[in-house]
């Protein structure tokens, strides 16, 4: 097979129910010579074999098996073996919208950019739409878009020019938020030319356990993300690549985390808030009330401390009915 236009890397483990759909969507709408799908089973699971039997003799589908059950190692293996001019990553339970994905390939092929990003629709297990995640509309800088609270780092959204991924690696030690870390690390490593489309290019299927949006869960995810953002900020600072929009994006992201879960750990989030203020003193949390004329004159951290008793009271009031219901079950 000659080098294809696009390589689609799909790590897989224990999801035969969805795998064929992902592969089908990656091939649909493409000339067979223009696409290769690299499926990377990782770990001891063998269920992928039966799921992919319809593609046993299809030269556009390649299998690279690795022993370790690690999706990031699988992504790296697929990326290293990819032959396409462009690469995209697709989780085995997600799928592409073929018509929009083809337009995305046409856009990156006809332009001078390194990355083209699209919108992603979130659905539940029954295929019911939950929301659509768009790319930030008012910036042409991928780094600013990824650093800020508006980031859309879902792997399904992005197509990369393979030449810009020559030294890129997914962190095999990261188990959650790996998609955020991947894009932050990529932005820290080089300046990338970016374009975006409003089209929904793929579907991210959320399972019931992924839709747990309790404050405790959000606090945990936020604390995992903050060091990733700070690491990228420091790299950009050292290399003289920080402009005002990037500083503001970092500050807004940190403020956004602090405001959302401040009452779980006021000491830690006070430190994060002070860091946000130091990075960009005029930035305010991305919430309307903090940008009201009179409120904007105040330090948001002061407001967070003043509201702390009320936040705890609201949290406990919401928890009491749940505990009562559990006690009666």
pLDDT reading at 76 higher than 80: yes
What pLDDT, on the 0 to 100 scale, is given for residue 323?
60
Q: Where are the domains of the chain?
A: 6-211, 215-315
Alpha-carbon distance 96 to 3, whole Å? 22
pLDDT grade for 291, boundaries at 50, 70 and 90: confident
Give the pLDDT of residue 213: 45
Residue 311, pLDDT score: 83
Asked if the model's pLDDT at residue 327 lies above 70, the reply is no
The predicted structure's pLDDT at residue 325:
58
Confidence bin at 286 (pLDDT 50/70/90): confident
Mapped onto helix, strand or coil, the DSSP state of residue 163 is helix
pLDDT of 324 over the 80 cut: no
Nearest-angstrom CA–CA distance, 250 and 86: 29
Percent of the chain with pLDDT over 90: 78
- The per-residue pLDDT for 114 is 98
Measure CA 28 to chain center.
24
User: What value does the mean pLDDT take over residues 145-156?
Assistant: 93
Ranking 70-84, 183-197, 278-292 by mean pLDDT, the lowest is 278-292
Residue 95, pLDDT score: 97
Mean pLDDT calculated for residue range 75-98: 98
What pLDDT does 298 receive? Answer: 87
DSSP element (H, E) containing 310: helix 308-328
By mean pLDDT, which of 115-124, 150-159, 161-170, 311-320 is the weakest?
A: 311-320
Identify which has the larger pLDDT, 134 or 77.
Answer: 77
Closest to 257 measured CA to CA, from 227, 237, 282, 299:
227
pLDDT tens digits for range 211-257: 444 556 888 899 999 999 999 999 999 999 999 999 999 999 999 99
pLDDT digits (tens, 9 = 90+) for 92-113: 999 999 999 999 999 999 999 9
As a three-state string, the secondary structure of 255-299 is: HHHHHHHHHHCHHHHHHHHHHHHHHCCCCCCCCHHHHCCCHHHCC
pLDDT value of position 107: 98
- 322: pLDDT strictly greater than 70: no
What are the tens digits of pLDDT across the range 154-175?
A: 999 999 999 999 999 999 999 8
The CATH class, in words, for 6-211 is alpha beta
Mean pLDDT of 108-137: 91
| 117 pLDDT above the threshold of 50 | yes
Selected residue with higher pLDDT from 313 and 162: 162
Q: What pLDDT, on the 0 to 100 scale, is given for residue 211?
A: 42
Encoded tokens for 213: 């949006």
């Amino acid at each position: 097979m000659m080098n294809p236009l696009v390589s689609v890397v799909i790590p897989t483990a224990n999801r035969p129910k969805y795998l064929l759909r992902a592969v089908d969507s990656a091939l649909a709408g493409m000339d067979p010579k223009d696409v290769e799908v690299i499926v990377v089973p990782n770990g001891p699971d063998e269920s992928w074999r039966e799921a992919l039997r319809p593609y046993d003799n299809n030269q556009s589908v390649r299998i690279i098996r690795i022993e370790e059950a690690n999706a990031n190692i699988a992504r790296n293996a697929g990326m290293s073996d990819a032959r396409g001019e462009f690469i995209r990553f697709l989780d085995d339970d997600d799928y592409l919208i073929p018509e929009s994905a083809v337009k995305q390939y046409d856009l990156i092929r006809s332009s001078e950019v390194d990355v083209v990003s699209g919108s992603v629709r979130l659905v539940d297990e029954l295929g019911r739409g939950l929301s659509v995640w768009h790319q930030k509309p008012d910036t042409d800088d991928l780094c600013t878009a990824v650093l800020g609270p508006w980031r859309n780092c879902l792997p399904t959204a992005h197509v990369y020019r393979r030449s810009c991924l020559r030294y890129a690696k997914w962190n095999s030690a990261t188990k959650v938020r790996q998609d955020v870390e991947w894009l932050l690390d990529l932005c820290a490593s080089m300046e990338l030319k970016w374009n975006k489309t409003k089209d929904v290019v793929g579907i991210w299927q959320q399972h019931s356990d992924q839709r747990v949006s309790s404050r405790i869960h959000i606090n945990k995810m936020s604390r995992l993300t903050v060091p990733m953002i700070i690491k990228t900020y420091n790299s950009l600072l050292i290399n003289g690549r920080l402009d005002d929009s990037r500083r503001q994006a970092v500050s807004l992201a940190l403020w956004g985390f602090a405001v959302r879960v401040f009452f779980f750990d006021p000491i830690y989030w006070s430190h994060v808030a002070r860091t946000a203020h130091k990075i960009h003193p005029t930035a305010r949390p991305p919430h309307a009330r903090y940008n009201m004329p009179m409120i904007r004159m105040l330090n948001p951290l002061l407001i967070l401390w003043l509201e702390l008793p009320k936040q705890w009271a609201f949290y406990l009031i919401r928890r009491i009915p749940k505990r009562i219901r559990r006690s009666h079950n």
